[in-house]
Structure 1
């Protein structure tokens, strides 16, 4: 196995080599026939990380605070009730890869997004089982948009699935690709398909008296007013959301406001991306 590594800090290469050697000794000791283990360990892309670094980079201490499923526990997951009816008999062997219900393995990188990938894979699998179609789900949307989780700092797969349910769905990985870092929640891929209900901070006095143009003034992310995004575009080089208000035709541009889009803020300008929701069907 060959892994490309570049260490820029002086002495870092030697420090990593010492960690690598320590891990190699640990592997050799574990795999010795005298130990009679039922599994082996070996070198991989994480072999130049110390055990402490591995824990800090890849593990989420609080992940067990919420159950993975509403009622599933241990071996009972195998007999969890399904909407299509109970299984008459639980098979002795099951591998959903054989059925095509499991997408390709990914590398989350340095972002602590395992919770998002786990939820995405579960949704992908169920969708394939129900429809026969394998559509890669956007883990990046969960990282960016699930406000009850903490992006690359960790989260909960149960909260991620709850977000998908409350959001009325989730984008595909093709439309909303993985970047390996938390970014601004993108709504334009959804708006291209339908209007989206949002909420914003409207305390700003300028917003109170807004007349026209792309609004990009300072505001908070604590939202206090609901509106609807009905489109998006670019005006004088500034990306904007076209937002329908409910304060009459004389406010703004005939009752609409253009709010700056693609700003460098996690929840969008004035928190406009923080609680975006849209229906799937009625």
Structure 2
């Protein structure tokens, strides 16, 4: 009986298990308009075998267009934990690993949902290929976002075509403290930009094109790349803050929101992350992607998530800590939040190309810490951002128009109509007056009703159920973050 279920299972491209991989590969090539090759076929057959091993227990898995490619989940190097003293990180090592605690206030009113791709504040995800360069893609996503957020300030000739597609290859080749395809970290990259000794500017993708060929470790030209843009166009698109340590000081743009190896985001951290996303600013995170076969076959039809490796261990034990350090292998970017199939989710940008997942993105339930994704939240603030500004004024329409869109159920998606979660810090004076008048009127009605009841009872009458209609004097305001059981 079990065999019959497996045999009849039909996946994307009409592929079934009871046919040879040769036939499945022909269907795959035709379905996704691929160029066939023996190397591609071998990889596809390996992937298909893995898929059939997990398909019965994976609702989000299916045949996808990237099954003939190597999806590299490595590339994230672990860094020493930082010690906090006030608003400064005190163990800057030769200028590296400096950051400051989040300097922005949590916004009291945020959007119901955010998708920065549709708002035009991030570029379409590209594929890192068979190279451990996820850290470079996360870093570039933050730098591109800062420029797209402030693009009215970038008016030079180089930016006149609104070209904010930056080069990951330039970053991979020029980082002194990362190891090309063997790994790096957003923290290191931003601190290297802050030092300005080698990474002095961002560069355009058109000047240094990232391809699979150029990033194969055996074919690297390891000499540093000299920027092709003019010195007058050198750009560092984020704010910098001064941190002091033992009398010396340095500038850093790296913003610390949350970082714990084995604890999920706190309620406050989720508020802060949503506040950044509502401002139109991405947040950089980490995850454990390599332990899960199902993650490679994610289709974007629903949310995805597997429990954090070693979650069964108690916090603080050596087994637990070692396991998490072993599995944290992938840098990703938070680019939104909302509801997917009725579940509150983060919208996360990956670096496996736009054919994978939901247009290169994936959804993870908020609060689940699936794939250990709620352990790190870092960012940079766009250089020209006004810190007194609230939410970004044009956050997008959220209308992908496909099965991979966020759905408009109980938390209706924003259509740029000013819908918010939360309530204002202070009501207008007229609203306060109306609330007071309404409260007084309500008390008077209540007292009158009680008196009426007493009189009826004294006269021996039976008091029938009455419905009192109270006129609402101010528009309904949704509850704060911690109200109504809303998932953060």
TM-score w.r.t. structure 1 length?
0.49
Indicate the structure (1 or 2) with the bigger Cα radius of gyration. 2
